[in-house]
Amino acid sequence: MAEEFDLVVIGGGSGGLATAQRAAEHGARVALVESGRLGGTCVNLGCVPKKIMWNAAELGSALSDARDYGFNIPAEIDAGVIDWAVLKERRDAYIHRLNGIYAANLARHKVELVRAHASLTDPHTVTAGGRALHAPHVVLATGGDPVVPPIPGAALGITSDGFFELTAPPKRVAVIGSSYIAIELAGIFNGLGADTTLVLRGERALRNFDAMLGDAILTVLREEGVQIATGVALRSLRRAAHGALELEAAHSQSLGPFECVLWAIGRVARSADLGLERAGVALNGEGFIATDLYQATSAEGIYALGDVTGRAPLTPVAIAAGRRLADRVFGGQAGRHLDYENIPTVIFGRPPLGTVGLSEEAARARFGPEQVRVYRSGFVGLYHALTTAKPRSHVKLVTAGPEERVVGLHVVGQGADEMLQGFAVAIRMGATKKDFDDTVAIHPTSAEEVVTMR
């Protein structure tokens, strides 16, 4: 006999948790099915542990900067002497605590947690752990997995998942990819003392973002000592006789030796064993679950959100989409859905890169070249007034139309991660360049550049 619920959620990541809890707040009887750790990629293998590692790398750099400010720090104290095992132990303990908090939150909302693998039997029945869970509404929020390239020896490398399993820092590492994950992990490895090489298939990084961001971060990475290999067509990864890893590329090009090779070349939907075909759920051309404006799939009553859909694969996006879905279906808020325009995001490179709205290229394509005006600023932040390193920060403001409505903001530099949230609100509300100009600057900050550009 099937057990009856109002909603069954498959996947206990950020999006699934948010959907289940909001639906329960509206009075729905909800079951959430998850076979792994609660919190999904973000909490266990993504945003949260990544930010902790990024913080560690930033602290390592701060030790060097402190000397330039006159602190008497012994020469032997630097980022290279970090106790990686202690860092990992404390990071993992924090994540384990979060797993428990998520379970407690589900219990507090009276969401039934089913610890099992789930699959669809039909559009309204989910089989999990020998139980049949029936509901008029089913949400698929199973996330994604990192891609490993189909080349000989690829299994000798690791992915971002494996990065968090490392028990000791590698001395020489290659990060393969041009995405934000590649940029972040290359910066972290380098900041924690590894001899790091970033390997790009093309010439640019962050191709899906404004060109300024990719150009600027490659410049900074080079200045920080990261080797950048561009135009590399990889053919294989092999372990040499001396035990180290070597990358073989076209035209007899060889890179290495490395202790660790990390693949950061993209992610795929985790949907292969969900029984989508039994429920009539269609995939798009890239293998993600196809959804409409309301997160609805091709099957009546089945919805999908988060990384499994491939749409803006960011934790806050999955949370926002799930809450709006629950508000509409169970909260009586007809028409409520997530607006995928003007989503702010930060790439935790070193320094961080923040972006919201359209790139310059996208703005010109949408509004026409003659309707777009761009403002730029480049400067060395005051933090680096006394430091040996002089990384440049960059700000780009993209405006459209005669009123110069701000349609894009892109920032590279210290503090970009924090300043973007407030500016994203202004841009979403339709702020113009004059609105920015009429806002009194906070001095001395990097953020003031956004409201003082001419």
Residue carrying the six token digits 């990390």: 262
Which amino acid appears at position 16 of this protein? G
Catalytic site includes residue 384: no
- Of 284, 341, 277, which is closest to residue 308 (Cα–Cα)? 284
Residue tagged active-site, from 96, 137, 251, 443: 443
Residue carrying the six token digits 């020896």: 153
Distance set, CA 320 to CA 296, 327, 336, 355, 398 (Å): 15, 11, 11, 18, 26
Q: How many other CB atoms sit within 10 Å of the CB of residue 343?
A: 18
Distance set, CA 297 to CA 151, 308, 319 (Å): 34, 12, 18
State the Cα angle at 31 between 30 and 37, rounded to 5°: 130
- Of 30, 24, 264, 273, which is closest to residue 138 (Cα–Cα)? 30
Strand extents, DSSP E, 11-162: 30-33, 112-114, 118-122, 125-128, 131-134, 137-140, 144-146
- Residues with catalytic function: 443
